[in-house]
Every structure is written in C-alpha cells, then in structure tokens.
Amino acid sequence: MEGKMKVIMKKEPKAGAVLAEMEIPKIGPKDILVKVMATSICGTDAHIYSWDAWSQKRIKPPYVMGHEFAGEVVEVGADVTAIKVGDVVSTETHIVCGVCDLCTTGNAHICRDTAILGVDTNGTYAEYVAIPESNAWKNPKGIDPAYLAVQEPLGNAVHTLLAGDIIGKTVAVVGCGPIGIMAVAVAKAVSASKVIAIEVNEYRLELAKKLGADIVINPLKEDPIAKILEVTGGMGVDVVAEMSGNALAIQQALKYIKLGGRMALLGIPTADVAIDIANDVVFKGITLQGIAGRKMYDTWFQVKGLIESGNLNLEEIITHRLPMEDFEEGFKLMASGNCGKVVLYPNKEALDSFAK
C-alpha cells in the first residue's frame, strides 16, 4: 500500500511526542499490514513519553510509539497462510526469534533476541502498522476494538496472577494503574478468597472497588503492613501482585507477605531497590517471580477463556476514549492517575463510529 499516514512520534530524546506524518510501512513476505482501529496507552508508553531514566537507556528516537491495539488486516505478505485480508487482529508485542532454546521450549516470552513492538520498533500510534503474521491474534468481528486492544495488557495481569496458585488465596495487588485494576478483576474471576488493592490515587482505588477489591488501602493514609496483618489475622497475604515498581511499596510488600508466599513482580522500578534478602526472602521462604509480558501463547488462550466465561468484569476499565490528535490529553490523564485505560482512535470519525 502506498501513501502517507498520521503517527504519534517520539522525535527527540526528551519529554513529549509529536503528531507527524510518515510513509505507510512496507511489509515482508511473512508480515501483515493492519489498519489501526483502536490503540491504548500503556504505562510503558507513559514512561517513554515522560522520558524517565529507563527510557533514556532503552529508547532510540525517532520512532513511532504504542503497542496495544486492534485493527483490520488490509494486506498480507506472499508467505502468510493463517491470516487474510479483512481479519480483525490484536498482537502479541514480543517479536522473538522462534528458533532459540527458549523459544523452542515454551519460553518465547523471555527470548534473548526479543524486540518489542512500539519500544524497539515502530509501533501502533499510527493509522497503519506492520507486524509479523506469527504475532497476530485473530479476534471475532463485531466487538468494540477498544476491548480487543486491551487484551495485551490484560494478558500481563493474567500472567502475573496465574503464574502460581491463586484459588482460595489472599491476594494483594500493589499499584492500581490500568494493569493493576485488571489484576483485581482477574483475581476475583479466578476465585481468590480476598483481594486487597493498594494504591495512592483515590480515583484508582474507587476503580479497584468497582472491579471487586474486598479491601482498599491508601498507603499515604494508613500503614499497609499493619492493615494487611490485621485483616489476615497476623499471617500476611499468600500472593503479592506487584504492579507499581515503587521501591517502598516493594519493601513493604516483603514485610506483609505470608511465610512461604509468592510475589510476582511486573512493575518496573526506575532505580535499584534495596531489599533484606536474608530476613524478607530466605528466612520467610518466599518465591519471587519476575513476569515478562505474556506466555506465548498460553496466556492469550487464558485471556480468551476468561473473557468468554463471563466471570471477568472489564466494564470499568476503559475510562477515556480520544482521537489520536488529543494524545497529549491522554498522557496528562495517565500522569494524573485519574483514569483507567485511555484508548486512542486514528481520527474523530473512528471514535464516533466505535465509541457509542
């Protein structure tokens, strides 16, 4: 396909981004070209937009941001077999080699040669995006594309929670940004006995309540260690889903996690975190799990099953819908914390068409 397209570009190594124009991408024989229907703002995008310490080490401008999306396939490469023009797809954002020891033993999500869409490559804040066929996830038609776009971050929440036993367990979700509130919903859907949400932003605590949190704690107003030990009879929680990346929150979680508990870490700290390995890890016999994206493609099938079960409450997660031109408003909302998922549409017509 020939022509120009509108994109949100990280043009320079500094805070912010710009609305720009570039050529519609060309595809290779194993790639597909997708017309973007909806794309959502991720916490990673917010890190890149603000140009924090992590972004400064990882991101190489100029490039197109964004990685959570859904769209319609408009062109396929000569060697593409499973995807056809007209299909509606989302994408697994980890582009992997497919042949290393990790990829061939069910661990492609931690492939050494991973490139991440919208981080290491041009992304989805655009009217069109090219992706490998192997990364496409085919969706049913007729579903609001905003809900299809958030399957990727929902997969992060599912992977974090389901990386170990969860049924009948007490769970603390630390950090109720968009993935954190999804984790609350997932924990309830898979029969956690009690879900405790910990967050400094009152708007997001209210979202956590709507999504099923049994107890909410604002650590600026009360001591989370004392409160959690109180509501768990002094035992602590079985599972911590750490979504914040905040050093103090991580240190506190290690104090209120139960002996023999599991702590799954998805949040990305912006600096080194000091922890007491001897007393908070070794002598407590806990398990620390690093969570990288989604298992390919086990997690996607788990997400599909949870959505189809009807047990997963996602109604409150998408709080704002904006045309791409208003992306700065979307990032302001993310910085304020007064939002769930913020979804961008390629233009106002698309927004009017899908956001009814």
Q: Which sequence positions are flagged as catalytic?
A: 44, 47
d(CA 3, CA 129): 13
Q: Is 217 left (phi over 0), alpha (psi -120 to 50) or beta?
A: beta
φ and ψ of 337, to 5 deg: 85, 0
d(CA 128, CA 71): 9
Which positions ≥6 away from 8 have C-beta within 8 Å?
A: 17, 18, 19, 20, 64, 65, 66, 125, 126, 324, 327, 344
Angle, helices 43-50/327-336, rounded to nearest 10 degrees: 100
Residue matched to tokens 């309830």: 188
Residue matched to tokens 């905040």: 246
Cβ-contact 236, 228 below 8 angstroms = yes
Q: Is 53 left (phi over 0), alpha (psi -120 to 50) or beta?
A: alpha
**CA 52 vs CA 8, 125, 230, 256: distances in Å:** 18, 20, 37, 30
Q: What are the DSSP E strand ranges found in the chain?
A: 4-10, 18-23, 31-40, 63-64, 68-76, 88-91, 94-95, 115-116, 128-132, 136-139, 170-174, 194-198, 215-217, 237-242, 257-265, 287-290, 318-323, 341-345
Cβ-contact 128, 34 below 8 angstroms = yes
Cβ-contact 316, 209 below 8 angstroms = no
Total count of residues recorded for the chain:
356
Which DSSP category does 144 fall into? Answer: -
**Closest of 295, 254, 250, 286 to residue 268, by C-alpha:** 250
Residue matched to tokens 């909410």: 216
Cβ-contact 142, 329 below 8 angstroms = no
